[in-house]
Amino acid sequence: MKFILFCFLAFLFGTAGVFAQSHSTEFGAQTDNDSYLLKGSDRYYTDGTFLYYSHALKIKGGDSTLLANKVLGFETGQKIFNPQSGFVPGPEYVDRPFAAYLYIGGTLNLLYKSESNLKLGAQLGVVGPAALGEQIQSFIHRTFGFYAVGGWQYQVKNDFEINLSAEYNKLIARAPGIDISLASYANLGNGFTGAGAGPLVRIGLFNQLFHSVSTQSTAIRNESIIPLHEQEIFLYYKPQVNYVAYDATIQGGLFDNHNDPNSLEIIQHKEPFIFSQQFGIAFTTKRFVVNAAAIYHTKDVKEMAHKHQWGSISALYRFR
């Protein structure tokens, strides 16, 4: 239901204009949920909600010879995880820990004229009961008439998180209507540490990587930039190999010994390598940026009974 409403609003407002313009500021939201794929499942990464604000910065002095765009971003969000169901009758059914991650963060996206970019980020957050996963999931299920949730007494304990990230993308080749680029990232923190890389293939009408949905750079102040197209509309495919060194939503707090005999916390063993595939469509209008995708992951926990997948849709409004 949330997915249908989000798509309708994006289409309704997105058709208000048909030509891309240069706007320096964006505000929007993203929603993730496994129910969007109509698989009838409610497991593992089950829900995510995010708010974004981005503002393109002026490029001064010597930076103008290298940079085409520079974007400062702020975000807040929550991710919710549960086992093979949001209700489990006992601890033996917990094949992925109950956990939530709530955070605030900031990013600086440096986009080069050579069609590469480096996006640096930092997040402050918390996993555990303070992340409000049980309360939000229970509210959603009550509101939409879903089953009652149960089992959150086994969730990972509270732990404060400081996480850093870096994302690097680089154009490899381009022909009319299609291009391929390298997409990679690295995370470091007491919540999430790991890295991943793979190709990004785009088919359709897309712009350079310094002014595109693909690199979160549709906010821009450089009016001398001439995009390849007045608006973007393209399909994309993004397979990726991911190495996971630590994940607090699976393993709990990094510095917690997890040996409290009075705790019901259930933690498990992460898989070191995950293969993910993302299939999506993105488009821009005069004021709106919309991106919808289906994401498929191999198991990220050794005890998991199934692979998992979810849908994601985001919409941003551009102004100024």
Question: What's the CATH code of the domain at 280?
Answer: 2.40.128.140
Is residue 278 in some structural domain? yes
The boundaries of the domain holding residue 165 are 2-9+44-319
Distance CA 217, CA 209 (A): 8
Q: Is the pLDDT of residue 239 over 70?
A: yes
Asked whether the predicted pLDDT for residue 251 surpasses 70, the reply is: yes
| Domain contains 202 | yes
Q: Please check the confidence at residue 64 and state whether its pLDDT lies above 90.
A: no
Q: Is residue 226 part of a domain?
A: yes
DSSP letter string over 104-162? EEEEEEEEETTSEEEEEEEEEEEESGGG-HHHHHHHHHHHTT-PPPB-GGGSPPPEEEE
Q: Kindly report, residue by residue over 87-127, the tens digit of the pLDDT.
A: 999 999 999 999 999 999 999 999 999 999 999 999 999 99
- Position 15 scores a pLDDT of 42
pLDDT at 5: 46
Q: Work out how many domains the chain is built from and give that number.
A: 1
- Stretch 248-277: mean pLDDT: 92
Segment 227-256 shows an average pLDDT of 95
Q: Which of 56-60, 162-166, 183-187 has the lowest mean pLDDT?
A: 56-60
Do the domain assignments include residue 294? yes
Kindly state whether residue 24 falls inside one of the protein's structural domains: no
Q: Does 16 have pLDDT greater than 80? A: no
Distance CA 216, CA 227 (A): 15
pLDDT of 152 reads 97
Residue 287 lies in a domain: yes
Q: Is the model's pTM score more than 0.95?
A: no
Asked whether the predicted pLDDT for residue 6 surpasses 80, the reply is no
Tell me what percent of the residues of the chain surpass a pLDDT of 70: 93
